[in-house]
Amino acid sequence: MSGLKTAALLGGLSALFLFIGGSFGGQSGMLIAFVFAIVMNVGSYWFSDKIVLRMYKAREVGPDHPLYRMTARLAGRASLPMPKVYIIPDMSPNAFATGRNHSHAAVAATEGLLRILSEPEIEGVIAHELAHVKHRDILISSVAATIAAAVMMLANMAQFAALFGIGGRGDDRGVNPLVLLVTALVAPFAAMLIQAAISRQREFAADRRGAEIAGSPMGLAQALRRIEGASRQIPLDASPATAHMFIMKPFSRGGMSALFSTHPATEARVQALLALQ
């Protein structure tokens, strides 16, 4: 079901791109925006593991480290190649997975997470991250980011065209500047909403698969609650560009900003996990 929802959301994002592209730039405008978006995101997809691990000063650990041995055991259960394992020198509890495919994956956890969680809770977190690897969520998020970036690029072009009365579809009908301006203003917000919704669906899916890999949903459910509580006391100084990668968004807020959040509410995730028992 989560796969169908993700596919539907990606379809909606693509439809938004086609709509604004057809309204403003026609086929040539869509092609230019899409090519630029691909160029921007392919690099981040291909080198994401090296970039983000260096950003957080992560150090690789080997078979002598308990986290490595735990990850090896869980990767075997998930029928995955052994990923590289890293420790992030930060006392805020969190973790993420990265890498472009099953054979080039990495799992990273903060020192804070290893200190405050019990072994079953750490297992739940690592199983969740391996589920992201299993589901190829880095690829899915890269596709969503590419289309969203293309939408926003076209929207910026459309705003410029509406303000200065230029551009159009290349036919005789032209474009109403007011309609074009409204579309250009609304489209980026719609793209961000859909992109965030895709990320939330992938988090729910990783929670479910992670519970299967760990053998129980309880470890992850308890870990999520403890991570949220401890993160409020010791927030993680994370880049907004990488916040979606962590098991819990480092700077989660409520209200309207929750609509743009890349992570579901913690209690919603916990209840979904408890329902698996």
Q: How many residues does the chain have?
A: 277
DSSP strands (E only) in 26-75 = 59-61
* Angle at which helices 218-233 and 266-274 cross, to 10°: 160
* Angle at which helices 137-164 and 26-55 cross, to 10°: 130
Contact by Cβ (8 Å): 151, 13? yes
Contact by Cβ (8 Å): 59, 89? yes
Helix (H) or strand (E) holding 110: strand 105-110
Q: Choose the catalytic residue: 129, 212, 228, 267.
A: 129
Query: Active site includes 129?
Result: yes
CA-closest candidate to residue 56, choices 127, 103, 112: 112
CA-closest candidate to residue 207, choices 84, 199, 254, 105: 199
- The tally of CA atoms less than 13 A away on the side-chain side of residue 114 is 14
Known catalytic residues? 129
